[in-house]
């Protein structure tokens, strides 16, 4: 059986202020919050589901955000990132902003959408991802807000992030025990995959926003032993020995790339691998990406169009600072001393000091029992001789996307297997 694990994508957003803040006098800030009764509760097993208003626009804007994130991070090296985790953490942040600071967030995240649309649409997306999990799969999206003891936060802001993002709200003395508590929370919400991501916090840190995304699932059609063979991957570091997994999959194609889609068994997600044409390098291809281009490629799939896809096993881990990326994406006002966070607090001088993300992906063989039975069912009904062959033996792009609007939860590049 093959199991792919996109494990422990963590986004940490640090908010600091250089001014002294007075002790909060509002006891309600330390009270527990619960989701309001007017927030929609979706039944994704119903015959008909109504999307939030402007969800199509949200999906298009989200795909643009994902493409822009990859373009601004890509460095020609192996990478695995989560647009979903970054988008979620920035939404938590944007809800506390006002004026030009909020406008810059809305422009980067939603194009023509306002923060209220982003909240309602993200709530639908998160609810769908976590609700359509069957036994054997894992897709966990978790958010938390960590507030320094001497910092006052508006109750309306806290209620909003609980309503739409199901965020946990914690108070602590951040400089004293915040690092240990937050790292422990991250560790427990990522099955122990991410440890000690956050370094020591200082007295200027007033709030920390955290998102974790954990994904693990089996293929609908697993690989058996005869589907795995040794080969050569021609990466940026030269020829490397690799173990390739070969299967009959759904073909996707465009003028400058081809790829395949492989479904998961227990979660509403799909694996996508994209191979640029031989006369187009991976870096060149990434520079041309847009949300519209990604969506068009993913939508080109048809049950009648198949391919023989051979992709190597790979394992990646990336830890990056995202401040520069977000500034390039138009959210530079968040990091300036005059950032406007009046929707979050009465205090002045608040700004975002750092944004960190760590992601991990591992694709390895873990057994063949269930896979052998399923493979016989699928492969036995088809003649593979007429299908195009896609050999991912050179740098390629991969994604984990949700299966309704093809929104990327994870994106990565494989330039080398070492």
Which two tokens mark 54? 């402007």
Count Cβ atoms below 10 Å from residue 365 Cβ, excluding itself: 18
Per-residue model confidence (pLDDT) at position 378:
18
Residues 266 and 390 in one domain: yes
**pLDDT, mean of residues 230-243:** 94
Q: Are 269 and 403 in contact (CB under 8 A)?
A: yes
Q: What would you report as the CA-atom Rg of the chain, rounded to the nearest whole angstrom?
A: 22
Residues 213 and 283 in one domain: no
Q: Are 156 and 167 in contact (CB under 8 A)?
A: no
Residues 325 and 294 in one domain: no
Least confident range of 1-15, 34-48, 75-89: 1-15
Least confident range of 1-5, 88-92, 260-264: 1-5
Least confident range of 266-270, 308-312, 378-382, 405-409: 378-382
Give yes or no for residue 34 having a pLDDT over 90: no
Domain assignment present for residue 309? The answer is yes
Domain assignment present for residue 91? The answer is yes
**pLDDT, mean of residues 25-33:** 47
Our count of domains for the chain comes to: 2
Count Cβ atoms below 10 Å from residue 335 Cβ, excluding itself: 16
Domain assignment present for residue 229? The answer is yes
Domain of 307? Answer: 219-313+368-408
Residues 204 and 242 in one domain: no
CATH number at residue 386: 2.30.39.10
Residues 327 and 400 in one domain: no
∠ CA 91-94-100, nearest 5°, is 145
Give yes or no for residue 67 having a pLDDT over 90: yes
Domain assignment present for residue 254? The answer is yes
Cα–Cα distance measured from residue 209 to residue 167, given in angstroms and rounded to the nearest whole number:
9
Domain assignment present for residue 295? The answer is yes
DSSP notation for 211-278:
EEEEEEEEBSS---GGGEEEEEEEETTEEEEEEEEEEEEEEEE-SSEEEEEEEBSSSSEEEEEEEE-T
Which of 250, 200, 238, 244 is CA-nearest to residue 226? 244
Q: Output 32 or 284, whichever has higher pLDDT.
A: 284
Domain assignment present for residue 414? The answer is no
Residues 188 and 309 in one domain: no
Residues 223 and 246 in one domain: yes
Residues 276 and 386 in one domain: yes
Domain assignment present for residue 147? The answer is yes
**pLDDT, mean of residues 146-154:** 87
- Where is 340: in which H helix or E strand? none
Residues 208 and 113 in one domain: yes
Q: What is the residue-averaged pLDDT of the chain?
A: 84
Residues 269 and 302 in one domain: yes
**pLDDT, mean of residues 15-23:** 45
Coil vs helix vs strand at 157:
helix
Per-residue model confidence (pLDDT) at position 9:
52
Q: Are 92 and 102 in contact (CB under 8 A)?
A: no
Pick from 33-37, 138-142, 366-370 the range whose average pLDDT is largest: 138-142
Cα–Cα distance measured from residue 358 to residue 201, given in angstroms and rounded to the nearest whole number:
18
∠ CA 96-406-142, nearest 5°, is 40
**pLDDT, mean of residues 360-379:** 32
The confidence band for 102, taking pLDDT boundaries of 50, 70 and 90, is very high
- In which residue are the tokens 């990565």 written? 412
Pick from 120-124, 316-320, 363-367 the range whose average pLDDT is largest: 120-124
Domain assignment present for residue 415? The answer is no
Residues 309 and 389 in one domain: yes
Residues 241 and 173 in one domain: no
CATH number at residue 345: 3.30.497.10
- Reported as a single tens digit per residue, the pLDDT across 176-226 is 898 899 999 998 988 888 888 888 888 888 888 999 988 888 888 888 888
């Amino acid at each position: 059986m093959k199991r792919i694990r996109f494990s422990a994508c963590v986004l940490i957003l640090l908010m600091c202020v250089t001014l002294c803040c007075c002790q909060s006098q509002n006891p309600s800030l330390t009270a527990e919050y619960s989701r309001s009764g007017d927030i929609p509760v979706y039944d994704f097993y119903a015959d008909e589901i109504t999307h939030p208003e402007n969800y199509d626009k949200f999906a298009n804007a989200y795909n643009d955000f994902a493409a822009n994130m990859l373009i601004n991070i890509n460095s020609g090296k192996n990478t695995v990132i989560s647009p979903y985790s970054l988008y979620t953490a920035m939404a938590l942040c944007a809800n506390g902003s006002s004026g030009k600071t909020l406008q810059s967030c809305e422009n980067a995240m939603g194009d023509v959408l306002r923060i209220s649309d982003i909240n309602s649409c993200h709530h639908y997306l998160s609810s769908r991802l976590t609700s359509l999990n069957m036994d054997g799969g894992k897709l966990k999206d978790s958010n938390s807000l960590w507030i320094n003891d001497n910092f006052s936060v508006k109750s309306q802001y806290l209620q909003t992030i609980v309503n739409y993002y199901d965020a946990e709200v914690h108070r602590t003395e951040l400089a004293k025990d915040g690092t240990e508590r937050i790292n422990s929370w991250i560790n427990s919400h990522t099955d122990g995959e991410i440890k000690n991501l956050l370094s020591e916090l200082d007295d200027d840190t007033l709030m920390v926003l955290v998102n974790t995304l954990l994904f693990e699932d089996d293929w609908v059609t697993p690989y058996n032993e005869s589907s795995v063979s040794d080969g050569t991957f021609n990466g940026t570091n030269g020829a490397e020995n690799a173990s390739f997994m070969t299967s009959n999959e759904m073909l996707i194609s465009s003028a400058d790339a081809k790829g395949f889609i492989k479904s998961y068994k227990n979660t509403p997600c799909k694996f996508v691998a994209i191979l640029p044409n031989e006369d187009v390098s991976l870096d060149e291809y990434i520079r041309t990406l847009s949300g519209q281009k990604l969506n068009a490629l993913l939508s080109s799939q048809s049950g009648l169009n198949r391919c023989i896809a051979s992709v190597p096993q790979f394992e990646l881990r990336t830890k990056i600072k995202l401040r520069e990326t977000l500034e390039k994406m138009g959210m530079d006002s968040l990091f300036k001393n005059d950032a406007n966070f009046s929707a979050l607090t009465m205090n002045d001088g608040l700004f975002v000091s750092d944004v960190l993300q760590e992601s991990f992906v591992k694709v390895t063989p873990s057994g063949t029992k269930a896979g052998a039975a399923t493979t016989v069912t699928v492969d036995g009904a088809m003649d593979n001789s007429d299908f195009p062959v896609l050999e991912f033996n050179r740098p390629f792009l991969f994604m984990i996307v949700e299966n309704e609007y093809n929104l990327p939860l994870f994106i990565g590049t494989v330039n080398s297997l070492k």
